[in-house]
Structure 1
């Protein structure tokens, strides 16, 4: 599909997030999603509440192609800038991670209680508590 919109750079991981404008109901979101998913090699989900579309696309497509398809459908679209992912911080020298069983972590509570700890009064066969004949 040829792009008629302004040129956009291709996404690094073939994933993009688009801000969609002009949607007034859930049917609008479904219409945009349907048009994007009809494109070859495109998988898209559109969220009406956030007005965003998360799109995964294959080789040979550019972000401009996706924007042009949304605009042909009658809505506005612009790519959302993805924040850069910071590299992991290196560990200080001389430190190493403790084995899993020696890590300090709060002990998790037991998942269930034993039946012997239940001290409720015994019940009669009919389901009501037994009456003490000595009490009035």
Structure 2
């Protein structure tokens, strides 16, 4: 069985990782710069080669991008919370400096759902678990 771990390319992985650990609760587990590797290029020595963090109980990997990149709208990271309070707190913190695309609110299917683009250009879908159907 495979395991999916989001890997985020960044212009400033350390700052972006700190933002996510603050917004979602968690910690940066490990940071390796290019200076830690074999034959480091002095131009990139302080750039992040690999960073791992745990936020909202999820493992993420990150690095400083070595090439120009553009964020796309073809993918979003979805976070599902068991409690409304957790979902709203995470949504509000991730939205700081970003753009709310769909406010977090109760939806017709029974869960709370919202979508935003954070200040780093990552699209997040934040939701609550589906409510159990009420007995008839």
TM-score of the aligned structures, taking structure 1 as reference length: 0.29
Larger radius of gyration: 1
TM-score of the aligned structures, taking structure 2 as reference length: 0.29
Which structure exhibits the higher relative contact order, with contacts defined as CA atoms closer than 8 Å and separated by 6 or more residues? 1
